[in-house]
């Protein structure tokens, strides 16, 4: 689809965001689409001194990019899909979800490389409540210490001895060329990733048929189906991107789509961690059209096990 009309793509200012957007741009250019990149500041990037929940929760890395789309300053925006609210913004749509990187969290250890080998009292850098609760379930004797900033900043803090280990998204480390720093992949059923972690989303104006067609070229059907299922589950649970909910959907050998979901609860007074898990599969064929129904089905199984009450307690503790 060669065209001389340039496609202006918006990105956050962080190195990871610009790297991810550059990756998307190169794939579009490979199809003959001229691309320019516009850097747009977001509240989430500008306020690194406080927890994300204190800035406003869902959408703190997204809203300014969405406004630039609505204002016509850009034709497309690249987001980390896990940062996006499940409810679509009026007038905007996700036109493409490219092939997913590693969806799991990763431990980056300074001296000990695995969770089980960390010394008692070790300081583990993470600001995600989902990661903190799962860490407490596996190693209640270590300390979760708040951590924000770019990936390279976080690694420098680790190397300087401020932390004994970090928990980060494996995808971000891989995209920045830091995959050699990963000392352990944290995978289900022990450690559940955030919904849509490792996936990128290209958002455009819903009425912009030309841009929708251009972006659809780099859409990956399997990744799109998995992301739809995971986000459908999250939406049915009324959980935002900061809620202690994990999910992982993947295509099986026979083309069926399997989704597992996890909801977490943590009582800081007693140190008790509660966790419920549910898993369902959609039959082979028409996987993409079944994805949202699959997500809703897994959410209902979690709700039947008490997910609503668990999430309500966690929202009260986070507030």
Which of the following is catalytic: 58, 83, 105, 265? 83
What does the alpha-carbon distance between residue 106 and residue 89 come to, in Å, rounded to a whole number?
31
124 SS3 class: strand
What does the alpha-carbon distance between residue 199 and residue 202 come to, in Å, rounded to a whole number?
10
What does the alpha-carbon distance between residue 243 and residue 266 come to, in Å, rounded to a whole number?
12
Q: What are the phi and psi torsion angles at 144 (to 5°)?
A: -85, 125
Q: Distances from the Cα of 280 to the Cαs of 75, 100, 193, 261, in angstroms?
A: 37, 21, 17, 9
Answer yes or no: 152 catalytic.
no
37 SS3 class: strand
* Residues facing 246 on adjacent strands: 194, 262
- Nearest Cα to Cα of residue 131 among 144, 112, 114: 144
What does the alpha-carbon distance between residue 158 and residue 166 come to, in Å, rounded to a whole number?
7
What does the alpha-carbon distance between residue 43 and residue 56 come to, in Å, rounded to a whole number?
9
Q: Copy the structure tokens of residue 180.
A: 């050699």
- Cβ atoms of 9 and 76 within 8 Å: the answer is yes
What does the alpha-carbon distance between residue 223 and residue 231 come to, in Å, rounded to a whole number?
12
For helices 287-304 and 307-318, the axis angle rounded to 10 degrees is 80
Separation of CA 10 from chain center: 18
Which of the residues are catalytic?
Answer: 83
């Amino acid at each position: 689809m060669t065209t001389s009309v340039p496609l202006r793509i918006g990105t956050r200012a962080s190195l990871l965001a610009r790297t991810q957007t550059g990756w998307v741009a190169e794939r579009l250019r490979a199809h003959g689409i001229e691309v320019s990149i516009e850097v747009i500041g977001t509240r989430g990037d500008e306020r690194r001194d406080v927890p994300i929940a204190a800035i406003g929760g869902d959408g703190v890395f997204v809203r300014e990019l969405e406004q630039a789309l609505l204002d016509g300053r850009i034709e497309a925006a690249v987001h980390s899909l896990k940062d996006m609210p499940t409810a679509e913004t009026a007038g905007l749509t996700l036109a493409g979800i490219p092939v997913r990187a590693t969806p799991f969290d990763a431990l980056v250890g300074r001296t000990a490389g695995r969770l089980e080998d960390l010394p008692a009292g070790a300081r583990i850098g993470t600001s995600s409540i989902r990661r903190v609760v799962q860490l407490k379930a596996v190693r209640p004797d270590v300390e979760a210490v708040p951590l924000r900033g770019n990936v390279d900043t976080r690694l420098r803090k680790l190397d300087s001895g401020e932390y004994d280990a970090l928990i980060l998204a494996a995808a971000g480390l891989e995209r920045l060329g830091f995959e050699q720093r990963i000392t352990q992949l944290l995978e289900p059923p022990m450690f559940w990733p955030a919904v849509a972690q490792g996936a990128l989303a290209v958002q455009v104006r819903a009425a912009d048929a030309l841009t929708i067609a251009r972006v659809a070229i780099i859409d990956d059907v399997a990744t799109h189906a998995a992301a739809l299922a995971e986000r459908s589950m999250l939406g049915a649970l009324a959980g935002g991107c900061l809620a202690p909910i994990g999910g992982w959907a993947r295509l099986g050998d026979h083309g069926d789509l399997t989704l597992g979901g996890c909801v977490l609860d943590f009582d800081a007074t007693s140190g008790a961690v509660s966790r419920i898990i549910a898993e369902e599969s959609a039959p082979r064929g028409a996987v993409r059209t079944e994805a949202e129904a699959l997500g809703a089905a897994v959410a209902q199984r979690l709700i039947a096990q008490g997910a609503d009450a668990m999430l309500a307690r966690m929202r009260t503790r986070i507030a």
